[in-house]
Amino acid sequence: MSAPFSTLAEFRAVLANAPGKNTEAQAGAEARNGQLTKPPGALGRLEDLAIWYASWRGTDRPEMKAPQVIIFAGNHGVCAQGVSAFPPEVTVQMVANFEHGGAAINQLSKAFGAKMDVHALDLDTPTADFTQAPAMTEEEVVAALQTGWNAVDPNADVLVTGEMGIGNTTSAAAVAAAVFGGEAGDWTGRGTGVDDAGLSRKTDVVARGLALHADAIKDPLQALRCLGGRELAAMAGAIAAARSCSIPVILDGFICSAAAASLHAAQDGALDHVVAGHLSAEGAHANILSNLGKDPLLSLGLRLGEGSGAALALGVLKGAIACHSGMATFAEAGVADG
């Protein structure tokens, strides 16, 4: 699916002109939900989830048969500042693990019948250290957005985006701070396990990046460019592409949510086709989800990334859809209604 933009301005226009939900399908799904053989509201949030899914799939009785999981990987120049417990070489090593089927996300994708794709974005050329210069040029961030857009299978019926990139919790914290405001320390956390000194360095790095790019990052897409990473931009591009195809999206953890936040801030309603798969153990993730107005489906203390929490939430969504579309109505079952 070829990206219909070649500049940030054109990408912004794509967001502004994205299709909305199918209100007729939503009304039909609400009516069907009211006729199913259960007390009103007995399935709780599963009912709302199924109706939301139906409104984006354009049918009152949807199915989920073709989930897609896409993992994007990128390297970060800001790692030179000592913000991660692991060296950048781990990014390349983990991409190989994904490609050979050895990671947690491989197992979860397989468990829920999802097609999984991996895209490594210029791992030999890390982004610039954002305490010294913008992380990406416009050409670089647009290329990453295009990679994300083009990676989406238009025949998918739900999308999960995940990431791998040593140092990317630092970029995600910086993007979140730029988009939502507050102090650097409100958004930084221990990521994959930095000690107290590492957390202090990380917070200082985010504060310096915010100060250096203060004027540019008033625009959320420029915040993604100046402070983000290629994998964050690719996830944003994929989420936007899914909207163009009316494919519902399940957000993963802190990094994915920060990438999505740039879309949310750039265009009202840009994440209406999105639900939050889980609440991760990274402290500021709850703050991002609160600002996005998204209640997580799961809260299991996960901090892995890779799309793992969102992939696990595929099971919740699949269950909601199965109940909604497979249950009998009172009339079909010959059960007295109410």
Q: Does residue 203 contact residue 185 with C-beta atoms inside 8 Å?
A: yes
Query: What pLDDT score does 336 carry?
Result: 85
pTM higher than 0.85: yes
Q: Does residue 170 contact residue 262 with C-beta atoms inside 8 Å?
A: no
Query: What pLDDT score does 1 carry?
Result: 78
Distance of CA 295 to the CA centre of its chain: 14
Q: What is the DSSP string of 234-294?
A: HHHHHHHHHHHTT--EEE-SHHHHHHHHHHHHHSTTTTTTEEE-B--SSTTHHHHHHHHT-
- Examine the residue annotation and report whether 183 is marked as an active-site residue of this protein: no
Tell me which residue has tokens 């010294």: 132
Tell me the C-alpha distance between 136 and 130, whole Å.
9
**β-pairing verdict for 158-164 and 115-120:** unpaired
| Candidate list 47, 140, 163, 306, residue with the active-site label | 306
| The one-letter amino acid at 228 | G
Q: What is the DSSP string of 45-98?
A: HHHHHHHHHHHHHT-SS-----EEEEEEE--BGGGGGS--SS-THHHHHHHHHH
Over its length of 338 residues, how does the chain's per-residue pLDDT go in tens digits? 799 999 999 999 999 999 999 999 999 999 999 999 999 999 999 999 999 999 999 999 999 999 999 999 999 999 999 999 899 999 999 999 999 999 999 999 999 999 999 999 999 999 999 999 999 999 999 999 999 999 999 999 999 999 999 999 999 999 999 999 999 999 999 987 899 998 999 999 999 999 999 999 999 999 999 999 999 999 999 999 999 999 999 999 999 999 999 999 999 999 999 999 999 999 999 999 999 999 999 999 999 999 999 999 999 999 999 999 999 999 999 898 75
Burial of 197 (0-12, 13-18, 19+ CB in 10 A): exposed
Query: What pLDDT score does 198 carry?
Result: 85
Tell me the C-alpha distance between 296 and 109, whole Å.
19
Domains and CATH numbers, the chain: 15-62+324-333 (1.10.1610.10), 65-318 (3.40.50.10210)
Sign for the CA dihedral angle at 132, 95, 117, 261 comes to negative
CB within 8 Å of 23: residues ≥ 6 apart: 55
Q: What is the DSSP string of 115-179?
A: EEEEEE--TTSPBP-TTTS-SS-HHHHHHHHHHHHHHS-TT-SEEEEEEE-TTHHHHHHHHHHHH
Tell me the C-alpha distance between 131 and 48, whole Å.
43
Query: What pLDDT score does 140 carry?
Result: 98
Report pLDDT digits (tens) over 121-141: 999 999 999 999 999 999 999
